[in-house]
Amino acid sequence: MAKKQRIRAIALCLLHQGDQILVQEGYDSITHQRFARPLGGGIDFGETSQQAVVREIQEELGADITAVKLLVTVESIFDYEGKPGHEIVFVYEAEFVDRSLYQQEVLTAVEGARRFQAHWRSLEELARLGVTLVPGAIANLL
């Protein structure tokens, strides 16, 4: 029997530094498209979206955030690596408690066993690099 597809609830965090936001970048090997997404991740059962975004930033960066504010909730339907995806995305903005993190050009993040880099990028820089900000509705907030 095929695995039933599900809608995934996630919480993402917009961390601002001037006209830049902190993003992780990715690549779809099927479409050959580069994309960037704010940090965050899945909402666990019994957890609010706000608790999830705080936990995700702590897990990924080992950093605490404050002034956490829900900006918008968007629905994102997409394909990635040839597979359909469907997410309900709670988009928050917040600030790092440790202000020194704003001085780092690149932050090393961890998600499970995977390590990745998070970069400060402006919309103009992403466009120049040919990188699409996802979900697309986030660009309207900036």
Percentage of the residues of the chain whose pLDDT score is greater than 70: 98
The residue assigned the tokens 């029997």 is 1
Give dist(CA 109, CA 40) in Å, integer: 11
What's the pLDDT at 1? Answer: 54
Domain span at residue 68? Answer: 8-141
What's the pLDDT at 68? Answer: 98
pLDDT band at 2 (very low <50, low <70, confident <90, very high): low
- Is residue 1 domain-resident? no
At 102, which CATH number? 3.90.79.10
Asked whether residue 61 carries a pLDDT value surpassing 60, the answer given is: yes
- Is residue 15 domain-resident? yes
- Is residue 2 domain-resident? no
- Is residue 3 domain-resident? no
For the chain, the domain total comes to 1
Strands 20-28 vs 106-111: parallel, antiparallel or unpaired: unpaired
pLDDT in tens, 62-108: 999 999 999 999 999 999 999 999 999 999 999 999 999 999 999 99
Phi, then psi, of 52 in degrees rounded to 5: -65, -45
**Alpha carbon 141 to chain centroid, angstroms:** 14
